[in-house]
Amino acid sequence: MTIEYPVAGRWTSGESSREVRSPFDDAVIAQIPSFSAADVDAAVEVAQTAMRQAPLATHERAAILDRAAVLLAERLEDIAADLAREAAKPIKQARVEVQRAVSTLQFCAAEARTFAGDLIPMDAAAAGVDHLGFVLRVPIGVVGAITPFNFPLNLVAHKIGPAIAAGCAVVNKPASQTPLSALALAKVLFEAGLPMEYLSVVPGPGSVIGDALVRNDDVEVISFTGSPEVGWSIRASAPRKRVGLELGNNSPLIIRADGDWRGAATAVRLAGFAHAGQSCISTQRILVEESIKDDFVAALVEQVGSLVVGDPLDEATEVSALIDRSNTDRVKSWIDAAVDGGATVAIGGEMTAEGHVRPTVLVDADPADDVCANEVFGPVVVVRGFTRFQDALAEANDTRYGLQAAIFTSDINTALHAARNLDFGGVLINEVPTWRADHMPYGGLRDSGNTREGPAWAIHEMTEERLVVIKVGPPQD
């Protein structure tokens, strides 16, 4: 039976449907509707009318978000199981994602209660004497949220949560492979009191549903998380909209001999391989001081060799399938090309019996190889050595991406030099570049994007600043 989705203020199963299949074993998981561009336009119209005719007070928005966080936590097991099925995310990691979405909603509720405008000291200008000025932050309008497959719940929460906090209605287009988590989030929000008109979830192809959102003049903001290719094409085709882009990375990790390199090897076990490396900040390029390189590679191989590869619903599994066959083939071909070019396989490099890429550590791949120069988005890390620290910084910075980078060192001066000179949106010290908390400013430079996410920053993008000036006359008597 086709699952119903909330579109334009009502539950509907559309006019046609399609199957969602497991990336792990191709089993049919769900039958979901196929919507059209006309459904998107209807959803936007209903959203805009709701904002105009039935605005939600701040205390209502905050209470909805708080209640939704409680409901999400109560349904953690069911939602994690759906997420594991649709994305092939190992169930233990799927549970962590649900917990993170709970905290994202809690942070959004807190921001809803506290974000405010500014008082402007008008009499700082001579002409401003006898004037009061302040800035109100008003909801910008309907938000179009286009989201990727790899965190299909928490990254949707990072857009819908701030939009509700800001007082905006939202139309979400989830990734085609992962439409179930977004639906689960919508259900808890409605149960928590969000009027249906405030949120539509419209699954369907990016080229149809995503494009319709981008083209709709009544959508004021597009909040997009996904690949640079799609993201920048959206930016180019919507010059009059606010377009926030959260894109990819090929995260570098520098390890100095004076740093806790054993701790780094342990951390990379999941930082490079959780969800088969399909995180925008998955650790990818590891630059290690030559004097410890062999020992570090040995420690990393031991860690990676202990990863359990298999069925996402198996409690023991830590790495499962990539999202689809074409990405599996792409990642394998990048590994093979690096090896043909002279890289050594320290571990992995081949497929499992079920046809999935084994966790792979490559040593000394050429910086121009795809596994270094581009975003692998697969279970592969590359280790390269360095002798001069300045060379490691230059190599880390030599990328079209700029999301997060990291360094392990025990020397405070080296750490602070790295913080100043690594040209990324975030620099982590004695922590992997894959680390993220849901209330921090998160975003990148260059091909990694043009904005910051995290409830406080996203709410800023979803509000307009309105200046109010009052001329103050003399008192009546």
Q: Where along the sequence are the contacts to ligand NAP (CB under 6 A)? A: 146-151, 155, 173, 175-176, 205-207, 210-211, 214, 225-227, 230, 234, 246-248, 280, 375, 377, 403, 449
Q: Rounded CA gap, 31 and 147, in Å? A: 20
Furthest C-alpha separation in the chain: 90
Give yes or no for a contact between 336 and 371, defined as CB atoms under 8 angstroms apart.
no
Q: Rounded CA gap, 449 and 249, in Å? A: 10
Residue number, 3 or 339, with CB nearest to ligand NAP: 3
Q: Rounded CA gap, 308 and 91, in Å? A: 12
Q: Which two tokens stand for residue 450?
A: 């043009």
Bridge partners for 31 per DSSP: 2, 19
Q: How far is the CB of 144 from ligand NAP (least distance, A)?
A: 9
| Three-state SS at 283 | coil
What does DSSP say about strands 118-120 and 131-139: parallel, antiparallel, or unpaired? antiparallel
Q: How far is the CB of 327 from ligand NAP (least distance, A)?
A: 8
- Residue 398's CB is within 10 A of a number of other CB atoms, namely 13
Indicate which residue of 280, 289, 375, 461 is catalytic.
280
Q: How far is the CB of 353 from ligand NAP (least distance, A)?
A: 26
Annotated catalytic residue 280: yes
Residue number, 8 or 219, with CB nearest to ligand NAP: 219
Helical H segments across 280-408, by residue range: 290-305, 325-340, 370-373, 389-397
**Running DSSP on this structure, what letter comes out for residue 130?**
T
Tokens 């085709």 -> residue: 237
**Running DSSP on this structure, what letter comes out for residue 322?**
-
Give yes or no for a contact between 167 and 202, defined as CB atoms under 8 angstroms apart.
no
Helical H segments across 367-442, by residue range: 370-373, 389-397, 412-421
Backbone phi, psi, residue 476, to 5°: -60, -40
Q: Rounded CA gap, 228 and 208, in Å? A: 18
Half-sphere exposure of 377 (CA within 13 A, CB side): 21
Q: Rounded CA gap, 199 and 8, in Å? A: 8
Residue number, 31 or 291, with CB nearest to ligand NAP: 31
Annotated catalytic residue 372: no
Going across the sheet that includes 404-408, the strands are 344-347, 360-363, 380-386, 285-289, 252-255, 404-408, 426-429
**Residues belonging to the active site:** 246, 280
